[in-house]
Every structure is written in structure tokens, then in C-alpha cells.
Structure 1
Amino acid sequence: MPPIPDRTGLAAGLDHVGVVGPDLDALAATFAAFGFRLTPQAAHAGGRTGNRCAMLRSGGYLELMAVLPGGHSATLERFLAHHAGAHTLALETPDAAATVARLRGAGVAVSDPIATERRAEAADPASPLLRFEIVMPPDRPEGRLLLVQHRNRSDLWETRFLDHPNGAIALEEVVVLTEGPAALAAAWSVLAGRPVVPDPAGGFALALPTGRVRMMHSVAALCGGQPVPPAPCIAAVTLRTADRNGAVKRVLDEAGIGWEAIEDTVVTAAGGLILRFRG
């Protein structure tokens, strides 16, 4: 018997974090040096913007984005005017239409799902056509939260891109720095359809079936001496590794990249985003 479709419209988990930089090649080179195996360049918005992604075997991914040469994006340029780093947080939904209905029932002004598609590889017209349904609530100063339904998920999570030299296998947490964690928690709880709870480190946590979002007025306890982007912002991600952080320590040391240990977590920073690797 096939599984019963989920028509609740609730967020099912962390989908991805979008990291914006001024130059896609340079941003990709940075993340490759930190031990990520990236997908080939793909194009958005009629070729005006592009991305490369670090797909994670057990769930979630990092999307690196930039305006391509000769292109223009008012959105990415607005993001970069604040800082280079993470600006979008996407949660996965199994049913975008149900999500819209749920949000409208909760009084959120939201448009119909946006159907979008792109080739997995811009240079290969025979590469898989990736299809998405995107629900886009109004932006907040902390960042853009999207709810995404994947129409052909397996074509995005291609096996050949899932093994990373740094051992990363899953996106476990997203850490948001905000002066108003209670207000943000209330707003994003409605968008996700999931409850929030107090975070032991201060602020609030939005617990999802896979992963969580932590909304805090200070991230020093989690990020140590790493450079924190200007608030409000998506400050950090926590990535689970397969080997108690052995591989990521080796990759960073061999590349001469600085890192610090906070309990069982390796903490460093790349492209304006603090990376927390947890074994």
C-alpha cells in the first residue's frame, strides 16, 4: 500500500540554508577548501543568478548563490548590502498547497505556491530538470524563510555529490541572531506550524521532525571567537559528521584554516557563515 499523503501543510524539517556572496566561483572555492563536494553550477532567474550546493546524505543542504556575470538581482544585491553570508532558510513541506491553506487560515498573507524549475547543471541540457513548489511568506529582517516542496527530490540528492571530505552528513541546526527572539519565534512557529520551546542557551528553539531552528539574542556561547555577521542574521549552521569530527579537523588543518573546539563541536567560519561541525 502506498504511503498516505501528508495534507497537513506542516513543515517536515530543515531543507536548506542559502549563502549569498558577490562571486560564485570564489564562494564555491571557499567551501571546497572547507571540505565540501559541490554540485555543478546551476542557473536561476533566466540565467541572472546561479548556485552550487553541498548536498548532505542524511538531510538538508547548503546552497551557495551569487549574481552571475552580466546578471542582476535586486534581492541578492539587497542581501549583500547587509552582509555576505546566509540570508535564506528553507523548510521542507510535503504539500505546498496545503501549507498555503494552513497559513491563510492562520491569518498570514501569502500568495499561491510558486512553481519553479531548473536544470541540475547549467552546462548540460540533458541533466535532470529539478522541479519545486515554493511558498514565500513576507520577509523578516533576520532573513527569508521559505517552505519548499520537492517534486523530484532524488534528482537533487544525487549520490555522487553526497560524500564530503569533511565528513558532513546532515544539516541539524540553524542559529539565528535577533534582538527579538520571542517575536521571531512566534512568527516562525506559525509559518512552520510547529511549537517553539525555550532554548537552554537563551532564546527559543523551533523543533522540527528533522532538525531545529534556534533563535537567540546572543550566539557567543555557540560560536566562540568566530566572526559573527551583523544582527539580525542567520548566523550559524550545525552540521552532523559521520566520524566524530576526525575528517573535518584533518581537512581544516591541512588547508591551514583556523578552528576552535566548543565541547564536542568544531567551530569555524566560511563565506560569512559560522559552521559548527558536531560528531
Structure 2
Amino acid sequence: MTVSRRRIDHLVLAVHDLDRAAALYEGLGFQVGARNRHPWGTENRLIQFRSSFLELITVGDGALIPPHAPGRFSFGAFVRDCLETREGLAMVVLDSTDAAADAAAFTRTGIGRFEPFHFERKGRRPDGSETVVAFSLAFALDPRLPDAAFFVCQQHHPEAFWNPAFQQHPNGAVELEAVTLEAPDPSEHADFIAGFTGVAGRNNGGQDLVFPLRGGGRLVIASGAGASGGTSYRVAVADPAAVAERLAHLNLPFQTADDAVTIGPAEAFGVTIRFGAAGTR
């Protein structure tokens, strides 16, 4: 089986109330980072795993958001526009070792005609000391998936970002294993996702398409009537039964099936979260 050279880097989860969302995730047993502010008007809080992370994001100062322009994708404008209609999984992000080359490749294949976007910001280590993290992004869009954006992310100072102290979660979470998008006809998006991941999708026996990623992750396009974007993700945990106990204590409705504990979008700010045993995928 051919596997993409890319892995899941992170998922962007758009929410109206950043601190309320962070409180939910803390209740679910995740360690949630401090608030960061972007110069283009958005604010985030991160949940870091071994080689991936979740980005809870909201609009902080809408006046700072630049508009989309020819050849330029506005990260802040996409988040703002997403939140005008819904909360939830807004962007799917894979890793990159050369965002400029990836942007050029996306242009050649017609899935993204945007300049690479570079930024840096201050961060804090677990001891409270300051550091700097820097990223370059290359964007891709599928017009038939209007509720989702895609990009690859190159980290220029990974040693300043990844930190084992941030990866210790009371619920035993270790990694993002899968992300699922839904569309009425998954086959219509096969070429786009193949161009984005660099690997062809495989059929799982139904209409769903699975794109295998480096590190054992996967990007799935599932059949969903009326859907047109990201709907769920799966995170590996040490003990799903312990997560179920935690959810019951919080009085959050959940389901247990297919080796995973699942909470729905009504409880999780517009996204379905599946907790599966690490190594079972």
C-alpha cells in the first residue's frame, strides 16, 4: 500500500468562545495551552501531541483581518467566514519540509494558486520563559468543498514548538490518528485530495475513500448527504474506557462502538471526536 510522505500536522477547529472550548477540552482530559494572538486578528489555544496538534481558534480583533486577494489566502478571513455559519473543523493541515516548493506544486496541479504565507510569533516554554516559533504555509482549496480549507505547514524552529511537557494529557491522548471529511459523492474530490496528500485514495468497500498518511494516520472522505467539509477526527488514547468514565462524570452523552468512544458535534463545538485505543487505528 502506497503511503503519503506527509503526516497530519494539525487540525484547525473554529469556535466562537475560545475559553469555553478550552474548558471543554480540559474537561475531556486534554492539556490546553495558553492563548496566542495573531497579527491578522485571530487567537488560538493549542493541544499538542507527539507529532500533531489541535488548534482551537476564534476571531479576536476582526478589524485586523485582511481580505482575500488574488494569489493570497487570508487565514483570518476564512476563520471569520466559517464562524458566520458554523463552528467545527475548518482546516486540515499536513506537514511540509518546503512550503515554497509545495505552493509551486499546488499551482502546477491547479489545486492552489496562492503565495506561501510566512509568520512567526512568540511562544512560552513550560517554565514560562519566552521563545519564538515560525511557520510557512502553502494553501490549497477544493471549490466543491467550500466549508474546508487545506494547507501544509513547514516549521522553521521545531525544537521551539514541540515539547514533551505539553504532550502529557490526563486522558492519555498521544496522537491524532485520522480526520474525516464528508461529501455527497467522495469520488468527486479524489483527485484534489490525491494532489494534496500525494497519494491515491483507496476504497473501503463502500463510497468512502481513505488516503493513508505517514505515521499511520489517514484522511478519509466519507459519503454524507448535504455535507461539504470536515466533520470528525480520531485521537489515540491509552484507555478509551477511562475516557468513557470521564465523559459519564461530566454528564456528556457519548457512544461506544467500533473500538472507540465518540462524542458528537452538539457537545464538542461542531465536531465529532472519537477516542480510540492507541495502536488499533
Please, what TM-score do these two structures have when normalized by structure 1? 0.84
Aligned residues: 256
After superposition, the CA RMSD in angstroms is 2.4
The CA deviation at 1:113 is 1.7
1:212 is aligned to: 218
The CA deviation at 1:246 is 3.4
Cα distance in structure 2, aligned partners of 1:177 and 1:168: 25
- Does structure 1 retain, via aligned residues, the 8 Å contact 2:82–2:147? no
Relative distance call for 1:104 and 1:168 in structure 2 (3 A) is same
Cα distance in structure 2, aligned partners of 1:125 and 1:248: 30
Cα distance in structure 2, aligned partners of 1:77 and 1:264: 36
Secondary structure at the aligned position of 1:231 is classed as coil
1:4 is aligned to: none
Relative distance call for 1:250 and 1:71 in structure 2 (3 A) is farther
Structure 2 letter corresponding to 1:93: S
- Does structure 1 retain, via aligned residues, the 8 Å contact 2:99–2:136? yes
1:275 is aligned to: 273
Q: Aligned to 1:105, which of 108, 130, 145?
A: 108
Structure 2 counterparts to residues 113-262 of structure 1, below 5 A: 113-121=116-124, 127-138=130-141, 140-200=145-205, 202-210=207-215, 211-218=217-224, 231-243=227-239, 245-262=240-257
Relative distance call for 1:49 and 1:40 in structure 2 (3 A) is same
Post-superposition CA distance 1:68-110 (Å, at most 9, x none): 2675643222101231111010011122122123323324442
Secondary structure at the aligned position of 1:128 is classed as strand
Q: Which runs of 5+ in 2 are unaligned?
A: 66-76
Relative distance call for 1:170 and 1:253 in structure 2 (3 A) is same
Secondary structure at the aligned position of 1:249 is classed as helix
The CA deviation at 1:32 is 1.2
The CA deviation at 1:152 is 1.6
Structure 2 letter corresponding to 1:214: V
Q: Aligned to 1:60, which of 41, 52, 55?
A: 52
Structure 2 letter corresponding to 1:247: A
- Does structure 1 retain, via aligned residues, the 8 Å contact 2:186–2:207? no
Cα distance in structure 1, aligned partners of 2:152 and 2:183: 21
Cα distance in structure 2, aligned partners of 1:88 and 1:109: 14
Cα distance in structure 2, aligned partners of 1:86 and 1:72: 23
- Does structure 2 retain, via aligned residues, the 8 Å contact 1:197–1:205? yes
> Percent of aligned pairs with the same residue?
25
- Does structure 2 retain, via aligned residues, the 8 Å contact 1:20–1:65? yes
Structure 2 letter corresponding to 1:163: Q
- Does structure 1 retain, via aligned residues, the 8 Å contact 2:111–2:192? no
Secondary structure at the aligned position of 2:140 is classed as coil
Cα distance in structure 2, aligned partners of 1:70 and 1:80: 12
The CA deviation at 1:188 is 1.4
Secondary structure at the aligned position of 1:160 is classed as helix
1:96 is aligned to: 99
- Answering whether residue 41 of structure 2 is matched by residue 41 of structure 1, we say no
- Answering whether residue 34 of structure 2 is matched by residue 28 of structure 1, we say no
Relative distance call for 1:96 and 1:70 in structure 2 (3 A) is closer
- Does structure 1 retain, via aligned residues, the 8 Å contact 2:8–2:95? yes
- Answering whether residue 44 of structure 2 is matched by residue 51 of structure 1, we say yes
**Runs of at least 4 residues of structure 1 off by over 6 A?**
none
Q: Which runs of 5+ in 1 are unaligned?
A: 1-9, 220-229
Relative distance call for 1:70 and 1:196 in structure 2 (3 A) is closer
Cα distance in structure 2, aligned partners of 1:107 and 1:141: 16
